[in-house]
Amino acid sequence: MTHQNGRERIPLGPGDLRVSPLGIGTWAWGDRLFWGYGRGYTDADLEAAFQTSLAAGINFFDTAEIYGRGRSERLLGQFLRAADRPVVVATKFFPYPWRWRKGSLQRALGGSLNRLGLAQVDLYQIHWPYPPVPIETWMAGLADAVEAGLVRAVGVSNYDLEQTRRAHAALAERGVPLASNQVQYSLLHREPEQDGLLETCRQLGVTLIAYSPLGMGLLTGKYTPENPPPGLRGRRFNRKLLGQIQPLIALLREIGEVHGGKSPAQVALNWVICKGAVPIPGAKNARQAQENAGALGWHLADEEMAALDEASEEVQSGLVF
């Protein structure tokens, strides 16, 4: 395994995009309903998270037109204008039921570029593979966007194995590589390993971007049955679940100690990186951004990975979400 540090760059897909082995997710940047934006963290906190990440060598930020109904893209755009180094920006097209034709993708992309204040987005992704619009329609829209110079690389999100193959093949006909598939992947959600998606992506040269790599905060270890997460997460992650994950959290802590006091979050993110995916943890403030960047620059040993795999399997077999 190669040694990693905060300045390392890895390819994202087969094209020329180079990203830090860990990015930052920005769903919480402007989202009141699920994440509680405006209560507990402010725009100043988010700007500090952005600047701290850049200073730590992270150059990859993921947003979407639906996050905070455009607010996430606007905030990211605002922060980008003050950035003192190049940033790789990924955003997403949402296939709303009233979007039927590939032309709607170009219009949505125009909106994203406006909010971000950019002439070109580095990675443009289809957020979900919702039917009935065929995968090929959106792939044609993505290829048009590349040809128009509005997008450097294209990706998909929440596509299963067969949908990924179809997207890859449709784009290949236009000579455009599929750079990435962004799916949920963490020690609490190992479906991409179990159903072969991770391996298929590797074979196709498609980077697997891991969303919710901290299990929406659960793998930080700060939430317990006595201290559940606030808001909607508190209802989704009930006391039983919070109790079930504690043995895994204890192991994350134990392994972190061996690596000079790494936190459960840092170990959980390093596990994703060692699996060959690019985690994009959300960060609401400078402290979280700094801690998450500490997942870079070191590597879990093979026997530690095996122990985490085993502990996570035990937890998953009993998980009640």
Ligand X SMILES: NC(=O)c1ccc[n+]([C@@H]2O[C@H](COP(=O)([O-])OP(=O)(O)OC[C@H]3O[C@@H](n4cnc5c(N)ncnc54)[C@H](OP(=O)(O)O)[C@@H]3O)[C@@H](O)[C@H]2O)c1
Contact residues toward ligand X (CB under 6 A) are 25-28, 35, 62, 127, 157-158, 182, 211-217, 220, 222, 229, 265, 280-284, 288, 291-292
Measure the CA dihedral 154/117/11/148, to 10°.
40
By beta-carbon proximity to ligand X, the closer residue of 229 and 297 is 229
**Exposure b/e, 238-259, CB count within 10 A at least 16 = b:** eeebbebbeebbebbeebbeeb
CB of 157 to ligand X, least distance (A): 4
Which residues are CB-contacts of 62 (< 8 A; sequence separation ≥ 6)? 23, 24, 25, 26, 90, 91, 182, 209, 211, 280
CB of 316 to ligand X, least distance (A): 16
CB of 236 to ligand X, least distance (A): 11
Catalytic status, residue 67: yes
CB of 122 to ligand X, least distance (A): 14
Please choose, from the candidates 259, 228, 231, 263, the residue with its C-alpha nearest in 3D space to the C-alpha of residue 242: 228
Q: Strands (DSSP E) along 44-120, which ranges?
A: 60-62, 88-93
By beta-carbon proximity to ligand X, the closer residue of 186 and 200 is 186
By beta-carbon proximity to ligand X, the closer residue of 28 and 179 is 28
By beta-carbon proximity to ligand X, the closer residue of 79 and 211 is 211
Q: Which tokens hold the place of 230?
A: 């606030």
Catalytic, out of 67, 124, 185, 223 = 67
Query: Would you say 72 and 111 are in contact if contact means Cβ atoms under 8 Å apart?
Result: no
Catalytic residue numbers? 67
